[in-house]
Structure 1
Amino acid sequence: MNPIKTLLAEAPFMVIDGALATELETLGCDLNDALWSARLLAQAPEKIRQVHQAYFEAGADCAITASYQATVPGFMQAGMTAQQARELIQLSVTLAQQARDAVWQPGQTDRPKPLVAASVGPYGAYLADGSEYRGGYDLDRAGLVEFHRERVELLLAAGADLLAVETLPSLEEALAITDLLAEHPGAQAWITFSAKDGEHISDGTPIEECAAALANCPGVAAIGVNCTALAHIESLIAAIKRRCGLPVLVYPNSGEQYDPVTKTWHSAPCDHTVTGPSGLVQGAEHWLAAGASGIGGCCRTTPDDIRALAQWRQSR
């Protein structure tokens, strides 16, 4: 059963949470590390749970776990044992579940039961070299299947409602994920790509081609885009809807631009040829009209952004 469609039966659209790393930095955490926010699964798990709870309290219908950059090889390179790595990956799901249970109680009728979506970042996130924004990996589809297999199995076993396979730069990596989903009947995942403009994902593949390829794959609960500029979202949604009937999820960045080399954020350069909304609420009406079923935030968005989005939904 598709958990997103189940939730959408109770809400006009799904409110996804916002940036995890941004809030962790606000709490004083230093994330300048190859493991990024996943390092805090070992060092400060209570901070991760605190951020998840803040988003649920703001009105989010879904939390994305701190497993984006969490892999067994990555943790082992940081000096942990394989067993410790596996436990930390599964802890990411437990922390989000605990945060949900602190906010939503069984029998509550004023909002749908929020979902816990276990983040599966791309191979490029493990490489920590910015290649999730360009693709061009040294692994083929079979190699990508093997890279993702153990983490996917661990997250599913931990009891996540579905997987959030996000920031993928290539269709080949998305198809590798569908190969894994075929090994786990009943498993559900959303797949979202990073995009470089209003028509193409990061490696240059047209988003329409991606939508057509994933439209009928078992276990794919939704597709969409994340970690992408606000100005491109509306046209990307429309392109997906032309080729696919699945729910479309979008959670763009705040509007700033990320430099993967220096790992710093900068104000977006002024481009008078590209216009778009200044934030999630400003974009939401256009995105829903284009066919979006879920809206949230990625890098540099906060619980305040998600609260404003949830309040706007309630006032409609």
Structure 2
Amino acid sequence: MSIITKALATQSPLIVDGAMATELEKRGVDTANELWSAMALIHDPQAVRNVHLSYFKAGANIAITNTYQANIPAFERIGLSTAEARQLIATAAREALAARDSYRASASKPGLEAASGGPGRPLLVAGSAGPYGAFLADGSEYTGAYELTDAQYRDFHRERMRILADAGVDLFAFETMPNMGEVRALAGLLPEEFPEHEAWVSFSLQDDGHLCDGTPLEEAAAELDGNARIAAIGVNCVPLDVVTAAIRRIRTASGKPIIVYPNNGDLYHPDTKTWTPNPSGLSLAQLAPQWVEAGASLIGGCCRTTPEDIRGLSASL
């Protein structure tokens, strides 16, 4: 039984955390650079721990490490050594794990009321593996317009995954994946070189039925359905209004748990890296019940979401 399935047997749905960069910016961390939120690993790792802790306190069951944009080539590109890059990735995992330990310790104290089920609720740490497009830092995670060989994709992801695994993450998050060739490489790498670990795969979409590279969502989900090391399939960093239809498409093609963690409703413009405020006014908390009804069992937030959003989401479910 997968770690996700075991956790769902204790609590369903599971609550995934929210945005990291948004909260780091509130704490004075500059994320306007090619490393994005990963810059905090260099300048303020305590802020990363504090963000993770705020989400656990808000009711999250799953923390995603601050390694979406953190990979060895990216750190080397700004002048760090390979050893320094490896240490920073390990730091990201340790900060998430330390936040979980801190939350468990505080939530178990007599007289303290813990959010969402108390200190005994499932608490997991997922090691984020963002796509190769995130390393390019040109918006490619929203287009999928890049192509490497299977071996090149594996080489890009392998060392970050090994560091995260050795640091003690519970599973991997292959997230914001726009390119099916890259997903195939990761889906092969996982059972062959990380047989003790599992992962969820969450896609970046161009609409409710297609990955950013044009692959039909049902086709992508069906291809992963037979991989025993893939614990859940879903979407993230997508608009709120595509989530329900995407869940239904995935459900027709796979029996695995479905994970969704969309943006807060603000609209992102990759060309200018700017946001337009949420035109609908709807929130995660308002929409999550219909996502559960459609078949989702892991729900959280991505860009621009906050601990308050996760607290509201947890309460609504």
1:48 corresponds to 2:48: yes
Aligned to 2:144: 135
Aligned to 2:26: 26
Q: How many residues align?
A: 307
Aligned to 1:285: 289
Please give the alpha-carbon distance, in whole angstroms, between the structure 2 residues aligned to 1:30 and 1:107: 31
1:146 corresponds to 2:150: no
In structure 2, the residue corresponding to 1:254 is in which secondary structure? coil
1:173-227 Cα deviation digits (max 9, x unpaired): 1111111112221211111001121111111111100110000113101010000
In structure 1, the residue corresponding to 2:215 is in which secondary structure? coil
In structure 2, relative to structure 1, the CA distance for the partners of 1:234 and 1:156 (3 Å cut) is: same
In structure 1, the residue corresponding to 2:128 is in which secondary structure? strand
Aligned to 2:248: 238
1:220-248 Cα deviation digits (max 9, x unpaired): 01010000000000010010010101100
Give the drift of 1:262.
2.0
Give the drift of 1:142.
2.3
Preserved CA contact (<8 Å) 1:227 1:252: yes
Relative to the length of structure 1, the TM-score reads 0.94
Select which of 147, 153, 168 maps to 2:177. Answer: 168
Please give the alpha-carbon distance, in whole angstroms, between the structure 2 residues aligned to 1:196 and 1:305: 25
Aligned to 1:303: 307
In structure 2, the residue corresponding to 1:30 is in which secondary structure? coil
Please give the alpha-carbon distance, in whole angstroms, between the structure 2 residues aligned to 1:267 and 1:141: 38
Preserved CA contact (<8 Å) 1:194 1:226: yes
In structure 1, the residue corresponding to 2:268 is in which secondary structure? strand
Give the drift of 1:87.
0.8
Preserved CA contact (<8 Å) 1:2 1:188: yes
Letter paired with 2:305: T
Preserved CA contact (<8 Å) 1:16 1:61: yes
Give the drift of 1:7.
0.9
In structure 2, relative to structure 1, the CA distance for the partners of 1:106 and 1:161 (3 Å cut) is: farther
In structure 1, the residue corresponding to 2:314 is in which secondary structure? helix
Letter paired with 2:61: D
Aligned to 2:114: none
Q: Percent identity?
A: 47
Query: How does 1:1-316 map onto structure 2 within 5 Å?
Result: 1-105=1-105, 110=118, 111-182=120-191, 183-267=193-277, 278-313=282-317
In structure 1, the residue corresponding to 2:207 is in which secondary structure? coil
Letter paired with 1:114: L
**Which has the higher mean CA deviation after the structures are superposed, 173-182 or 97-106?**
97-106
Letter paired with 2:84: Q
Give the drift of 1:107.
11
Give the drift of 1:68.
0.4
Aligned to 1:273: none
Letter paired with 2:189: L
RMSD between superposed Cα atoms in Å: 1.6
Give the drift of 1:113.
3.1
Give the drift of 1:261.
2.4
Letter paired with 2:63: A
In structure 1, the residue corresponding to 2:219 is in which secondary structure? helix
Please give the alpha-carbon distance, in whole angstroms, between the structure 2 residues aligned to 1:171 and 1:216: 16
Preserved CA contact (<8 Å) 2:10 2:122: no
Please give the alpha-carbon distance, in whole angstroms, between the structure 2 residues aligned to 1:170 and 1:76: 24
Give the drift of 1:14.
0.5
Give the drift of 1:282.
1.1
Gaps of 5+ in 2: 109-116
In structure 2, the residue corresponding to 1:191 is in which secondary structure? strand
Preserved CA contact (<8 Å) 2:243 2:291: yes
Please give the alpha-carbon distance, in whole angstroms, between the structure 1 residues aligned to 2:71 and 2:92: 12
Preserved CA contact (<8 Å) 2:261 2:302: yes
Letter paired with 2:36: W
Gaps of 5+ in 1: 271-275
In structure 1, the residue corresponding to 2:296 is in which secondary structure? coil
Letter paired with 2:170: D
1:81-117 Cα deviation digits (max 9, x unpaired): 1011001101111000111111114996734231000
